[in-house]
Structure 1
């Protein structure tokens, strides 16, 4: 078996093991926390029909296992002064440097996330900025930081998202 195939099978095995350990009650708790990361243990207890201490134990186990990775606030970007959001498709000019692109772009102000994707671009960034001029500046900075081609799609409205 090739090295790459072994890594894929190992990752698939880990994912299957994690999925098997998530029971219906864990799924209810996870769904509730996804909707409201500030849900109290009492709220989760009511939703899951477990005692507060049982819910606390499950949440702590889910955190330790890395199923719950972090908690965060969801911010209204327009009220924050960053109303322009866009998807930026990133295609390396030099594929020998492809693996370094995410870490080199991670610290740029305005780059919110970087996703590895299947298809023509290697990555899709989600960016947010204050103005079209700021978007142009960010795109220029991306090009100065890494040797890539980009294609930008502005987000007009988000109907739902997680």
Structure 2
């Protein structure tokens, strides 16, 4: 059972989250080797906000959606939404996400993310699929993914020679080794 809820103003909450975000975006947590956080400006959420004009970016096409901006402002202030408003807000996010994905030169996703209907429906024109081999999915297991990307003319499996599992190589004797 959760403990008692502490009351904080929405401004205090925003300040704490903003401080945490700024610190996290500038430096890694101790002992965490996670390169993904170095370019937070490339994250889908950041692109969605830019497309909504939060903040405006001259390099990103802004989608004028005043009703979404009003809902976003209320959401940022911690206001509660009715069921209908929640549906409108989520639909606005999905619309902006679709625009962001359609305008992307490339996207990085897990295998699960790559088959998400928001991704597949908006990125059908992809010509190259790159998959991180460390997802622990064998190549033939992700072939069905290609049905979602009919224009894909190439696929790349990206490996990490340090953390790839041992592989069997051919020779006079079979040996286990790590790729060079």
TM-score of the pair, normalised by structure 2:
0.21
Greater C-alpha radius of gyration = 2
Greater RCO, 1 or 2 (C-alpha within 8 Å, sep 6+): 1
TM-score of the pair, normalised by structure 1:
0.23
Report the structure, 1 or 2, having the larger strand content.
1
